[in-house]
Amino acid sequence: MSGTPPFPEFRARLENALDALGMQADHARIPALLGYLQQLQHWNKAYNLTAVRDPGKMLVQHVFDSLAIVPELRARWPRRALRVADMGSGAGLPGIILAICQPDWTIVCVDAVGKKTAFIRQAAGVLGLKNVRAEHGRIESMDSLQADLVISRAFASLSDFVRVAAHHRAPGGILLAMKGQDPVAERAALEAGTGWYVKRAVELDVPEMDASRCLLELDSTGPEGTP
């Protein structure tokens, strides 16, 4: 990217958010993060990517929200180049944010809406992200992506997530679901109906967001993690 950085008025907020998340070393990624925000705002009307229209709210509800999982993932896999499948990726969230922060990871963003995967390709091209690929199709019908991390953000119930996406894990891979308030009813339905359960729950503190967010790791009691 070149020229005047987009949204200069948001730079300080993004710096503060990164500092709050313990990501001070990521200040160099701010132009790319703001460049993504610019693409999201520009294409939102044509592609209907998000109901959030105000770029300041997009910054918090989409960019900060996606950034909040990065410290947890880095702590768990500090020196490993991961293959990540972002299911129901929509506008590339959290996939594109992960790709910006982790250039050594390979990110596959999957969505059933062609306009949304077209946007992901467009944004990745503009931002020069070589580690992002968009796949258009139904998650449950696609061949396994053999991902180390299969992740979803505000995509489906825990049971539906397992049903459509579990086969995309590589051996030893895990499923992660980004949720708002810890979904007690979804947890119960997951255990009762699938044989899967929430192995680990991590509370997320999203900068500037006055709402509960959590990251849930799912596991199965069945053979080879098959629901």
**pLDDT (mean) for 182-210:** 96
Would residue 116 count as lying in a domain? yes
Residue list for the binding site? 88, 93, 139-140, 153
Confidence of residue 227 (pLDDT cuts 50, 70, 90): very low
- Supply the DSSP symbol for 144: P
**pLDDT (mean) for 187-214:** 96
Provide the residue range defining the domain that includes 69. 8-219
**pLDDT of residue 166 exceeding 80:** yes
Confidence of residue 225 (pLDDT cuts 50, 70, 90): very low
pLDDT value at residue 3: 59
**pLDDT of residue 1 exceeding 80:** no
Lookup: tokens for 98 = 């992960």
Query: Torsion angle of alpha carbons 223, 215, 91, 50, nearest 10°?
Result: 130
State the Cα–Cα distance between residues 66 and 61, nearest whole angstrom: 8
State the Cα–Cα distance between residues 99 and 159, nearest whole angstrom: 27
pLDDT value at residue 222: 61
C-alpha distances out from residue 179 to 29, 146, 158, Å: 25, 23, 9
- Supply the DSSP symbol for 219: E
Would residue 224 count as lying in a domain? no
Q: Taking all residues of the chain, what is their mean pLDDT, rounded to a whole number?
A: 94
State the Cα–Cα distance between residues 102 and 16, nearest whole angstrom: 20
Would residue 131 count as lying in a domain? yes
Residue list for the binding site for S-adenosyl-L-methionine? 88, 93, 139-140, 153
CATH number assigned to the domain comprising residue 36: 3.40.50.150
Q: What is the pTM of this model?
A: 0.94
145 three-state secondary structure = coil
Would residue 136 count as lying in a domain? yes
State the Cα–Cα distance between residues 63 and 57, nearest whole angstrom: 9
Strand (E) or helix (H) holding 109: strand 106-111
pLDDT digits (tens, 9 = 90+) for 5-54: 789 999 999 999 999 999 999 999 999 999 999 999 999 989 999 999 99
Work out the burial of residue 165: count CB atoms within 10 Å of its CB; fewer than 13 is exposed, 13-18 middle, 19 or more buried: buried
Would residue 226 count as lying in a domain? no
pLDDT value at residue 209: 97
pLDDT digits (tens, 9 = 90+) for 80-137: 899 999 999 999 999 999 999 999 999 999 999 999 999 999 999 999 999 999 999 9
**pLDDT (mean) for 156-175:** 96
**pLDDT of residue 140 exceeding 60:** yes
In terms of Cα–Cα distance, which of 51, 33, 18 is closest to 207? 18
Confidence of residue 67 (pLDDT cuts 50, 70, 90): very high
Domain count, the chain: 1
Would residue 225 count as lying in a domain? no
Would residue 49 count as lying in a domain? yes
Would residue 2 count as lying in a domain? no
